[in-house]
Structure 1
Amino acid sequence: MDSKMAKLGQLFFRVAIACSFLSAVADRLGFWGAPGSPSVSWGNWQNFVAYSNQLNAFASAQLGELLAFAATFLEILFALLLLIGYKLKLTALASAALLLAFALSMTFSIGIKAPFDYSVWTSATACLLLYSIPSYPYSIDAYLNRQQKNSPTGI
């Protein structure tokens, strides 16, 4: 594969997965429209928590709301880290783990079709592929590595 294409591919993937995370957060906060609007899954926090509790039927309502908040926080955090390119190996692996947790909870709670329809398995796998990339040229990580190499002390 062409080196420039590989560099652009990993950048495009980082932006795409970050936008997917942020789009899901925007939906649960009502930014894509009210509940029942076309292409809106939840439309508000309450509907998202109800859905999250359906996926996490093993948890109490209070723990379910905490899990919904944690998922939302992590999606925002991982999206920002992917966009700026900071701690990409760790972020890619953590994103894969989060998406795998989503896929498994969807599979066991509502069936195998839902995580395939929403490409959750594909996204989790793509995050693992992002993790396997040796370097990320368009990132803060690359900038910090260059600065470290150019430092007189090498640290």
Structure 2
Amino acid sequence: MPRIPVTAHISIDADEIEERFVRASGPGGQNVNKVSSAVELRFDVRNSPSLPAAVAAKLERLAGARLTSDGVIVIQAQEYRDQPRNREAALQRLIELIREATFVPKKRKPTKATYASKVRRLEGKAKRSGVKAGRGKPRLD
């Protein structure tokens, strides 16, 4: 059972991936009618022992329309005329999707405005206020 490395901590078992080969549409000439070069890759997210629960949950959200009601991600690849390249393309798309699900954004640390920045802001507002006040009608005192 070979394992497919996804990240430094996550690898999925090759047996968890199911591939079906179908005839592709598009370029290929007469070959396209004879050879099943397109790949339909299926990966069961909900029943995968390789993925942590948090990653699996995020992966289901990211999969969007590629996710079936049973929790299976279906990826189709038919860009290339030959089956091995389509298999590799579908697998790479799955790996990229899982990597995207493992990404955790950094927490934002709120910072306070410095005293100098507050002073600059207030000086700018006062200057702008003076410019606008100078646009009014002159007063007769």
Provide the TM-score with structure 1 as the length reference.
0.25
**Of Structure 1 and Structure 2, which has the larger fraction of its residues in helix?**
1
TM-score normalized by the length of structure 2: 0.27
More strand by share: 2
Q: If you compute each CA radius of gyration, which structure gives the higher value, 1 or 2?
A: 2
